[in-house]
Structure 1
Amino acid sequence: MIGVNLSRWTLSYFAAALFALVVAQGLMVAGYGFPTADLRAPETLVLVHLVTIGWLSLLLCGALFQFVPVLVAHGLYSDTLPLPALVFLVAGLLFLLAGFLQLADVFSGGPTLFFLAAILLTGGFLIVIYNLGRTLWAARPLSLPARFVAIALGALGMTVFLGVIYTLTLGAALNSGALTALTGPTLPLHVIGGLCGWLSFAAIGVSYRLLAMFMLAPELDGWRPHTGFWLGTAALSIALLGGPACLYLRGSITPALVLSGILGLAALGLYGADSVHLYRARKRRIIELNSQMAALALASLGAVVLLGLVFLGFGLFEEQIGAIVFLAAFGWLTGLGLAKLYKIVAFLTWLECYGPVLGKTVTPRVQDLVVESRARRWFILYYLSVWAATAALLISSPIVFRFSAAIMLLATLAIILELVRARRLADVVENLRFPAGVVRPYLLLSSAETK
C-alpha cells in the first residue's frame, strides 16, 4: 500500500462513530431503552439507530472509503464526496434521534424532524453508494471481497428505502396507503437489510482481505468462498426483494424469511470454515492482537447463529430476539470493528508518517505504534462484558445488564485511548518517533498521499 492515497476523512468517520458508540453505551448504563423499555419504544429506537447508523454505519463507510480502492486496485472515484456525506449522515442522525425523543414526549414539536432526517440520511447514504459504486464499476471485473461490498451497497439502498418509509410515516408526511402498509410487516426486512445485508455482508467481504493481509495468509478464491457469496446474495435477494413480493401476493413474508434464513445459515457456515482456514494457513505464526480479537468476534457470530437456532427450536425466538440482536451488534460487528480499528489506525498512521521516508531513514514498524500487552486486557474485558450483558438479557436481569454495560463502556473508552495514543505516536520510542521528513499527524485527518 506504499504510494497509495489515504482517504482524508476516514479518521473523521471513525471519530464520529466512536463518539456515537460511547453515547449509546452510556445510555445503556443509565437504563435508557431496551431492556428497561420495549423493543419498539422510542427510547429503544434512539439506542438502535445510534448504534446502527451512528456507530456501525459511519465506521463501515469510513473503512470502505479507504479499503475499497485497495480491494479493487483503483482510486476512489471522488476524494471530496466523503465530507458532505459525513455531514449529511451526522445531521440526519441528529434529526432522527430528535424525532424519536419527540415521540417519547421529551419535547414537543412538529413533523419536520422526521422529514429532515429522511432527506439528510437518504442524501448521505446515496452519496456513499454513488461514490463507492462508481469506484467499483470502474474496476470491473471485481475480486470476491469487492463483490461482497457491491451486494452490501445494494442492501444498504433497500434498507434506506424502507427506513425512509418508516420515518415519513412517523412524521405524518406520507399518505400513500400502499407504502404505509409496508411499515409493520416489513420491519424484519429492514433489520435484515441493515444488520445482515449492509453491515455483515460488507464486513465479511472486507474481512476476507484484511484477515489474509494482516496474518500473511493466502487469499481465498476457491469454490467455498464463491459458493458462500452466491448463497448469501441469494438469501438477501429473497428476503429484501421476495419479502415485499410475498407480502403483496400472499399477505405474509414468512416463506421468504424461511428460505432466506436457510440459505443465509449455509453461507455463514462456509464463511466460518473459510475463516478457520485463514487462521490455520497463515504464515505469521504469532498473530497480532487485532487478529486474535477478531477470532472472538467470529466466535460471537457463531454464538448468534447457535442461539438463534436453539430459540427457534424451542419457540422462543421472538421472546429472545433482543439478546440475539445485541450479541450480533456488540459481540460480532462491534467486536470486529474495534479489533480491526486497533490495527487500521496504527497502519494508516504508519503509512502517513513513515511511508514517505521508508528506505531513506530508520523507521519504526507498524506494531511499534501500539502496546498490545496493555490493550489486550481491555479487549478481553470488552468481550467478557458483552457476553455477560447477553446472558443478562437472556435471564431478564436489567440490573446485571446495566452493570455489564458499564464495564463495556470502560473497556471501550480504554480502547479508544489506545487508538489516540497510536495516532499521536505516543508509544513510539523517542529516537524513532520523528526522523527527518516526518511531522506529527492530525488526529482526525489524513494527508492525501503517502508518496
Structure 2
Amino acid sequence: MNGLKTNNAPHIGVVVPHFIFGAISFFIVAIMLVFSSSSLLEVYFNTKLIAITHMAILGWATMIIFGALYQLIPVVFETALFSEKLAKVTFWMAAFSVLFLSYSFWVASFTMLLPYASVCMFISLLFFVINVLLSYRKSELKNMSSKFVIAAIIWLLLTELLGTLIALNFKFNFFSEAHIHYLKIHATIGLIGWFLLLIIGVGSTLIPMFLISHQLNFKKLKASFYLINGGLLGIAINWFLINNSILTGICWLLVASGVLFFVSFIFDSYKKRMRKKLDVGMQYSLLAIVSVLLPIIISSVLIVGSNVEFQLLSRIVVFYGFSIIFGFITTLILGQTYKTLPFIVWLEKYKKLVGKTKTPLPRELYSEKIASIQFYLYLGFIIIMPIGILSNNLLLLKIGSIMLLLVTILYNINVFKIILHNVKPIKNE
C-alpha cells in the first residue's frame, strides 16, 4: 500500500470528485436498469440500453478510472501529473457531457442533441488524453505497466473519435455502412483497447502490491501487451476495410491469448503472495480476474454463431456486454475502490499525525460489514442477470436490477463514509 504514497501525488481535490460522481452515476445506472429492465430483452441496439451502457461506461467506470489514474500516474510513471488545473476542468466538462450524452440516448434525440453531446464528450476526453500523454513525456520510467496505460489512452481517443463520428453521422449521413456496423467497432476498441488494456496496466502494478508478491514473470505481461494490441488492431482494420470472418477469428484468438497471459501473471502473483488473508477489496479483484474468462468464451460463440437464430444471438450479444461491463470492469472497480480510496483519504487526513499518535487503519474508514453484504448481493446480481437475459425472463431481470440498486446504495454509503471521515486520532497510552 505504501507504493501509493508519493510526493508527486495530486491534491485530493483532483481525485475525490471523480469517485463521488462515479458512485452517484453507479446509483443512476441501477435506477435506469430498474425502470427499463425489459430493454435487456430487446435487440441490443435500442435507445434505453445504449443510454444505460454509456452511463455505466462513462459516468461510472471511466470517471472512477480517471480519478484513480490521476492518483496512480506518479506510481506507474514516477512523475507528477502534468496539470492538476486541466484535470479539474476535464472533470467538470466530462461530468456535464456524460449526463448530456446519456440523456440524448434515453430520449432518442439522435439528430438534435446527440451530435452536440458527443462533441462535448470528445473534447473532455481529449483534455484527459493530453494531460496523461504530457505526464508520460516527463517520465523516465518506460516499463510494461506504463506502456499498457499509454496504449489504453490512445485506444480511448480512437474510441471516442469513432463514437463522435457515429453521432454526427445521424445528422449528416456520411458513412457508407449502417450505424450498427461502426457501433460494433466502437464498442470493441473501447472495451478491449481502453478498459482491458488500462486495467491490465494498472492491475499488474496494484494487485502484486496489495498481495505483496515478488519474483514475477514480467515476460507474460510483454506477451499480453503485443498479443492484445496486435489482435485488436487487426480486428479494427479488418472490420473497416475487409470484413473477413476467418481473419476476425485469428485476430480474436490473439486477443484471447493475450488475456490468458495476463490471467496467468495474476495467478502467479496470487500463488507467490505473502499476504494470505484476502480482504473484501481483493476478493472483488480476484473475482474480476476470473470473470474475464467469460467474455472470451462468449465471444467465441459469437464469432462462429452466424447460424444462430437472431433472437438468441441478440441475447448472447447483451450477455457478452454484461459480462464485460459488470462481470469484469465493475467487479474490479468495486474491489479497487476499497483498496485505493480509503488510503487516499487516510493519507490526506492523517499524514501529519503519523508517528505522533495512534491512527486508524485505512480499512477502518469504511464499514467492512456493509462491504461484505454488498459483495454477496453483487455476486447474486451477476449470477441472476445472465440467467434472466439468456432465458428471456423479465422477473429475474427485475430481481437482479433491484439487487444492483441495493449494491449501489451500500457502495455509496461506504464511499461517502470514507470521504466524509472525521479525524479521530487515538492517543498512545
SS in 2 for 1:185: helix
Deviation at 1:259, TM superposition (A): 2.7
For the pair 1:83 / 2:74, whether they are aligned, the reply is: no
Inter-partner Cα distance in structure 1 for 2:254 and 2:326: 24
- State the match for 2:352 in structure 1: 356
For the pair 1:5 / 2:1, whether they are aligned, the reply is: no
CA 1:209 to 1:142, structure 2 compared with 1: closer, same or farther past 3 Å?
A: same
CA contact (8 A) 2:18 2:64 kept: yes
- State the match for 2:426 in structure 1: 432
For the pair 1:366 / 2:362, whether they are aligned, the reply is: yes
Moved more, 186-195 or 218-227: 218-227
Deviation at 1:422, TM superposition (A): 2.3
CA contact (8 A) 1:185 1:253 kept: no
Moved more, 275-284 or 2-11: 2-11
CA contact (8 A) 2:232 2:252 kept: no
CA contact (8 A) 1:155 1:197 kept: yes
Inter-partner Cα distance in structure 1 for 2:140 and 2:122: 26
Which structure shows the bigger proportion of residues in helix conformation? Answer: 2
Inter-partner Cα distance in structure 1 for 2:247 and 2:158: 16
Deviation at 1:2, TM superposition (A): 4.7
Inter-partner Cα distance in structure 1 for 2:210 and 2:276: 12
Partner deviation per Cα, 1:404-428 (whole Å, 9 max, x = no partner): 11011102211221222222337x8
Coordinate RMSD, CA, aligned: 2.3
Deviation at 1:115, TM superposition (A): 2.7
For the pair 1:323 / 2:327, whether they are aligned, the reply is: no
SS in 2 for 1:294: helix
Q: Which runs of 5+ in 2 are unaligned?
A: none
Which of the numbers 385, 398, 401 marks the counterpart of 1:402?
Answer: 398
Partner deviation per Cα, 1:65-106 (whole Å, 9 max, x = no partner): 1112210110001111112212222222233233224427xx
CA 1:161 to 1:33, structure 2 compared with 1: closer, same or farther past 3 Å?
A: farther
Partner deviation per Cα, 1:421-440 (whole Å, 9 max, x = no partner): 222337x8x5539x9xxxxx
For the pair 1:294 / 2:285, whether they are aligned, the reply is: yes
Partner deviation per Cα, 1:186-208 (whole Å, 9 max, x = no partner): 22211111111111210111111
CA contact (8 A) 1:218 1:281 kept: yes
Give matches, 1:33-432, under 5 Å.
Answer: 34-103=39-108, 111-170=111-170, 172=171, 174-176=172-174, 179=175, 181=177, 183-218=179-214, 220=216, 222-246=218-242, 252=243, 254-310=245-301, 316=308, 318-319=313-314, 320-425=316-421, 432=426
Inter-partner Cα distance in structure 2 for 1:357 and 1:296: 36
| Matched length | 418
CA 1:186 to 1:112, structure 2 compared with 1: closer, same or farther past 3 Å?
A: closer
Deviation at 1:39, TM superposition (A): 1.3
Partner deviation per Cα, 1:25-76 (whole Å, 9 max, x = no partner): 1121122562244311112211111111111111211111111221011000
Deviation at 1:219, TM superposition (A): 6.8
CA contact (8 A) 1:169 1:180 kept: no
Which amino acid letter does the alignment assign opposite residue 49 of structure 2?
T
Deviation at 1:346, TM superposition (A): 0.5
Inter-partner Cα distance in structure 2 for 1:137 and 1:221: 27
Which amino acid letter does the alignment assign opposite residue 426 of structure 2?
L
Inter-partner Cα distance in structure 1 for 2:393 and 2:95: 33
Moved more, 211-220 or 332-341: 211-220
SS in 1 for 2:113: helix
SS in 1 for 2:160: helix
Moved more, 58-67 or 144-153: 58-67
CA contact (8 A) 2:155 2:193 kept: yes
SS in 2 for 1:38: coil
Normalising by the residue count of structure 2, what TM-score does the alignment of the two structures yield? 0.90
CA contact (8 A) 1:244 1:253 kept: no
Inter-partner Cα distance in structure 1 for 2:386 and 2:215: 34
CA contact (8 A) 1:165 1:180 kept: no
Normalising by the residue count of structure 1, what TM-score does the alignment of the two structures yield? 0.86
Deviation at 1:300, TM superposition (A): 1.8
